[in-house]
Amino acid sequence: MVDVQLAVIDQQNTGIVAAVPGIQGPAGVADYFDVSGATYTLTSADRSKIGRFTSSSAVTVTIPAGLIAGFDCMILQLGTGQITFTAGSGVTLRSALGASKTAYRYAAASLIAIGTDEYLLTGEVTA
């Protein structure tokens, strides 16, 4: 991958930085981590990355306390194994209607920090 940064200068010369879709840039666009096992604990290194989960068995993803401020990531269920998200000790996981699992194969879920050790799970998820 090529690291590209696009700078746009406005009349006040404040500088605006934008990510180019499909090219790894300042927002970490298209940077992946691959998981094939039945368990995975997120780390700060996963911030702004896309996790590709390929297991044919159920997968548990643990969200630990102390992830880097502003943590976010996307999780893709590429295998047939449904992914369940669990909050580690001291972590609060929030979602619409108590959803905590990917809904089906090829589902995409996003995990977004909304406070210290507090995360919102959104996307193609179910209870």
Same domain, 48 and 93: yes
| Residue 102 CA from chain centroid, whole number | 13
Nearest CA-CA partner of 62 in 117, 115, 105: 117
pTM across the whole model:
0.77
Cα–Cα distance between 67 and 41 in angstroms, integer?
Answer: 11
Same domain, 94 and 51: yes
Express each pLDDT in 51-107 by its tens digit. Answer: 999 999 999 999 999 999 999 999 999 999 999 999 999 999 999 999 999 999 999
Q: Total structural domains in the chain? A: 2
Same domain, 24 and 35: no
CATH number, domain of 106, equals: 2.60.120
Range of the domain at 19: 1-28
Please report, to the nearest 10 degrees, the dihedral formed by the alpha carbons of residues 108, 82, 64, 40 taken in order: -100
Tokens 């159920």 locate to: 58
